[in-house]
A and B are shown apart, each in its own frame.
Chain A
Amino acid sequence: MSNYLPIIIIFTLATGYGIWYQRSRGKVKAKAKRASANPLVGSEIGGDLGTRATFVQFSSAFCTPCRATRVLLTDITSNLADVRHIEIDAEKNLDLVRKLDIRSTPTTLVLDKNGVEIGRAIGAPKRAEILETLANIR
């Protein structure tokens, strides 16, 4: 019996984490406006900002959902002249990663036209949610 207790603990904890993981991944979380919010500029993220919004996607090599995120955001932004998608290799830009507190990949920042972060999604976002986020940005 004593051997089964660790197994039960592991499966219980892992299931709890797994449910949280699936619920939180891909959700676009709005960022509370801070007085000291430093806007990002094009030179920092290696591309010009969109005139309405910019998606800044941080990716890494060992990341399956990064590809899905790239395909989705490329598809959405290719039809919109005022919204841009920029993908950054997190491993090669660790200073930026630390500054923006990126912990896992893919993490996608949603920037407004001034380069201020208004939200971020950890994990592959869903199409409907990205479109809804965009609809609220002028």
Chain B
Amino acid sequence: MSITNLLSFKTTDTQLIDARGPRFGAVITTIVLTAFLATESLFLLHWQLAVFAFGAFFGLNYSPYGFIYSKLVKPRLCGEVPTEDVRPPQFAQLVGFLFAITATILYDLGLSTVGMIVVGFALAAAFLNAAFNFCLGCEVYLLIARAKAAIASRKTKEDSYNLPSL
């Protein structure tokens, strides 16, 4: 699924994936981001940024962690495969990408403390997903949509105030 499909929010034509894959990815993400905060080795942040970018823009199957899961982990698992819609975890990858790129820019600007806080939020989300099956899209997507609508309606009001008087 490409980013254009992701952003068009299609409610039909859903693709189902193995729900354990994104959770495995969240475990690795948690480890990588923890290691980054402990060492502040920028390579780890850039690596994770690239992983988020692949997951968000090309699909979870093309994310390195998704690849490791399907090639090495999944063949060793047995039992019923729990499935989920591909869009929620892909949305989470997109949010992770935005946090990682913000942190990268902040580190480049020398604002490493702020960058660390931003990475901290991404780490918290990845850890919550790995340990508690936290659904980021469920919690934040509607709030974003509500905020967007509120801003849009405020703008229309402002525009109507600024109408030229005849």
Contacts and interface: CB of A to CB of B under 8 A. Distances in A.
Nearest to B139: A104
A15 B124 CA distance: 9
Most chain B beta-carbon contacts within 10 A, residue among A15, A61, A97, A106? A61
B88 A64 contact: yes
Given A4-B38, A62-B137, A63-B135, A10 B19 contact: no
A90 B37 contact: no
A7 B88 CA distance: 26
A106 B89 CA distance: 16
A89 to B, nearest CB: 6
Interface residues of A, number: 35
Contacts of A60: 137-138, 141-142, 145
B138 A63 contact: yes
Interface stretch (A16-24, A35-43, A112-120, A130-138): A16-24
A29 interface: no
A105 interface: yes
Nearest to A107: B142
Contacts of A90: 142, 145
Contact of B88 (A11, A13, A21, A62): A62
Nearest to A7: B37
Given A3-B37, A10-B124, A64 B19 contact: yes
Contacts of A65: 135, 138
23 contacts: A3-B37, A6-B37, A7-B34, A7-B37, A10-B123, A10-B124, A11-B127, A14-B124, A14-B127, A15-B131, A18-B127, A21-B132, A22-B133, A62-B138, A63-B137, A63-B138, A64-B88, A65-B135, A90-B142, A91-B141, A94-B145, A97-B146, A105-B141
Interface string A48-73: 00000000001011111111000000
A65 B134 CA distance: 10
A104 B142 contact: yes
Given A21-B132, A64-B84, A103 B116 contact: no
Most chain B beta-carbon contacts within 10 A, residue among A62, A65, A91, A97? A62
